[in-house]
Amino acid sequence: MTQEQLGDPEFTEAYISAIERGKINMSAKVLAIIARRLQVPQELLLESGLEDEGGVAV
């Protein structure tokens, strides 16, 4: 799935990219929409950024 497909029609490709790069935090509403489109639990998206500098999940 591309960033455009994930975001369309509510969010731009640039907005999705900024979320992926950690440049902006998404609201609970955005989190719910993206999780639904990816067919994953919201918790999975929240956990994905919890790694230390060595890439080990904390």
pLDDT confidence of residue 49: 56
pLDDT confidence of residue 48: 59
User: Do residues 39 and 33 touch, judged by C-beta distance below 8 A?
Assistant: no
**What number of residues does the chain have?**
58
pLDDT confidence of residue 56: 47
d(CA 53, CA 29): 29
User: Do residues 50 and 57 touch, judged by C-beta distance below 8 A?
Assistant: yes
pLDDT confidence of residue 58: 38
pLDDT confidence of residue 47: 76
What's the pLDDT tens digit per position in 1-58? 999 999 999 999 999 999 999 899 889 999 999 999 999 999 998 875 545 455 444 3
